[in-house]
Structure 1
Amino acid sequence: MDIFVAYIAPVLVGIGIGILSGMLGIGGGTVMVPIFRLAFDMSAIMSTATSLFTIIPTSISGAVSHIRAKTCIVSLGVAAGIGGACTSPLGVWLATISPPWLIMAAAAIIIGYSAISMLRKALKMKPAKVPAVSDEAEAVQGQAAGAVDGKLTRKQLLIGAGIGLGAGLASGYVGVGGGFIMVPLMLSLIGISMKKASGTSLIAVMILAIPGVIEQGILGNINYTAGIMVAIGSIPGAVIGARLVRKVPERILRFIFGGFLIVAAIMLVLNETGIIA
């Protein structure tokens, strides 16, 4: 039983996290932080640090798949990633001087906000009937933004870098990838399609998380064993998720994921207040 909990269970959890990461363009931190905190009984700072560590291989795996499938805009992802890399160390520093309850409160708020945004988007979406129509509509949207061929204006790239700045701060502080911030902003401010935003976000995540992970590693806050076990599952999971983008109804996935995140946020709050142990 101990072997299952220590090794097999984390791998299985990682597969699920990887699939969601590859499909939605998130690093998976919104799922991993509650799991490391509640299931693995890690401290607040170790939960966020280990999550950030696991995010890198997960996002690399998904990003590579998206690049091969041409469901991303590399230049935009790099711009957002560089912006985030500048602020993620600041987020880590803020986490080291913050009380544990504040870190988890911030994580709960971010996770809850992410859940509400996903559910709101899902409610507005119409059930997919004919994939071809959806693909054509996204192609038109991307063309209007000048992003079908991956070529963006300098202004759009600067906006992308600005988006990355905010995502990097959140990434370093609460151990998330920042995709839940970048994807909706890329949709609204830059105008690319959801499918391309997901892949582009993963490129940014794999870049912006690196400085924060290095800093957390130097501080000794990472549980490498748990992180590696989850990554063993999340790496192939992210590949699967990236391939399923065009096949699985996004609306249904958002409902399931949004519901899970709400439960996770509530559990974090209850745990930190001592209502549950």
Structure 2
Amino acid sequence: MEAMIPLFLVSLVVGLVVGVLAGLLGIGGGMLLVPAFKLGYAMDSLMCTATSLFTIIPTSISGAVSHIRNKTCLPKLGVAAGLGGACMSPLGVWLAALSPDWAVMGAAALIIAYSSVTMFRKALKAPKATKPVASSSQPDASALSSCHPERSAAGAKSKDLAAVEDRAAAIERAHLEAPAIGWREAAIGAAIGLFAGLASGYVGVGGGFIMVPLMMSVLHVPMKLTSGTSLIAVMILAVPGTITQAVLGNINWVAGIAVACGSIPGAALGAKLIPKVPERQLRFLFAGFLVVAAVLLVVNQLGVWG
């Protein structure tokens, strides 16, 4: 029993980190959970993906609720994508059961790497939110000793700073403006969910790493709204796959619950951070995370950590 305490504490910390990233980036966290379960609990790849899929549910629920409260998501689009994904997730689980370990891990790494390249391109194209230079309310020594021309120059400089502040604020406000979601957009969201659901069931991840780039590319949804929207979809599409894995007896409940104890509060925290992170930095963070996840999965398949 005492030997399990350190492992539980590590699982708690891992869950907290995964939860924050899930709430911030709109992913279920499976890309980190799969190698974490492999390393910490010595599971085979199938049990890793199954347990990861189970842990994604409480994580995404926590993050989605926070996003809905903060109005940083598009619920209608999220539900449409989630229902589409829920239809395909069991098929992914069935295919994973028939596939060798290397095929499951290899597919995950390739899909994640592709999504990462796509997001890096979007991050590079995103406008920079210019940070205004901090200004003092007190004039400097030269201003005190000057007359009206210098005061006019100082006033012009103040106006320029105000303009920069307004532009930076406008850029960030634009990234929180919700685009109109009609039946056409909902249908496209459902189609995105179909593909994400298949990947979710097959490689044991939430599907957010696919939905976020596609929602941005196809529907032009800002990253700050895509994260919460993706979590709503992940919350729905992970359910049938988890049920299927539970029936097949592939879930390690102890490991999943231990990680969920940390990921639930972590996801709520990550969702609250969304308005504070600039859009461009958020995209780079998402892309960088995908690169790390792809590397971890490849290293895992090579058996570096057992």
Structure 1 length as normaliser, TM-score? 0.89
CA distance in structure 1 between the aligned counterparts of 2:115 and 2:289, rounded to whole angstroms: 11
Give, as a single letter, the amino acid of the residue that structure 1 aligns with 2:64.
A
- Aligned 8 A contact 2:176 2:225 in 1: no
Mapping 1:163-202, distance limit 5 Å:
163-202=192-231
Cα displacement (A) at 1:257 = 5.5
Q: 1:271 to 1:30 in 2, by over 3 A?
A: closer
Q: Which runs of 5+ in 1 are unaligned?
A: 147-151
Give the match for residue 14 of structure 1: 15
Report which stretch shifted further, 57-66 or 255-264: 255-264
Shift in alpha-carbon separation, 1:30–1:275, aligned structure 2, 3 A: closer
Q: Distance in 2 between matches of 1:2 and 1:239?
A: 30
User: 1:198 and 1:275, CA in 2 relative to 1: closer, same or farther beyond 3 A?
Assistant: closer
Would you say 1:137 and 2:174 are equivalent positions? yes
Offset of 1:110 from its aligned partner?
2.4
Residues 270/24 of structure 1: CA separation in 2 closer, same or farther (3 Å cut): closer
Q: Which residue of 2 aligns with 1:149?
A: none
1:54–1:230 Cα contact (<8 Å) kept:
yes
What is the identity percentage for the equivalent residue pairs of Structure 1 and Structure 2? 61
- Pick the aligned partner of 1:242 from 262, 265, 271: 271
Cα RMSD (Å) of the superposition? 2.1
Aligned residue for 2:276, secondary structure, equals coil
Native 8 Å contact 1:179 1:201 kept in 2: yes
Describe the superposition over 1:151-203 as per-residue Cα deviations: whole angstroms up to 9, x where unpaired: x2111111111111000000000011111111122122222222211111111
Equivalent residue letter for 2:50: A
Structure 2 CA distance, aligned partners of 1:80 and 1:268? 26
Q: What residue is the counterpart of 2:94 in the other structure?
A: 93
**1-side partners of 2:122 and 2:112: how far apart?**
15
Name the aligned partner's letter for residue 214 of structure 1: I
CA contact (8 A) 2:34 2:48 kept: yes
Quote how far apart the aligned CAs of 1:251 are: 4.3
Q: Does 1:23 align with 2:52?
A: no
Aligned mates of 2:185, 2:300 — CA distance in 1: 42
1:73 aligns with 2:102: no
Residues 30-65 of structure 1, C-alpha deviation per residue, up to 9 Å, x if partnerless?
111121223432101011101100000000000000
Distance 1:223 1:195 in 2: 33
The alpha carbon displacement at 1:212 in A equals 0.2
Change (3 A) 1:268 1:38: farther
SS at match of 1:10: helix
Residue 233 of structure 2 corresponds to residue 232 of structure 1: no
Alpha-carbon distance in structure 2 between the residues aligned to 1:77 and 1:39: 33
Closer, same or farther: CA 11–117 of 1 in aligned 2, 3 Å: farther
AA in 1 matched with 2:263: S
CA positional deviation for 1:22: 0.6
Q: What secondary structure, in the 3-state scheme, does the structure 1 residue paired with 2:17 have?
A: helix
3-state SS of the aligned residue for 1:71? coil
Larger Rg, first or second structure (1 or 2): 2
SS at 1:192 equivalent: coil
Q: Distance in 2 between matches of 1:67 and 1:263?
A: 29
Which residue pairs with 2:47 in the alignment? 46
Query: Which residue, 147, 152, 156 being the options, matches 2:185?
Result: 156
Shift of 1:66: 0.6
Q: Give the one of 226, 247, 255 matched to 1:218.
A: 247
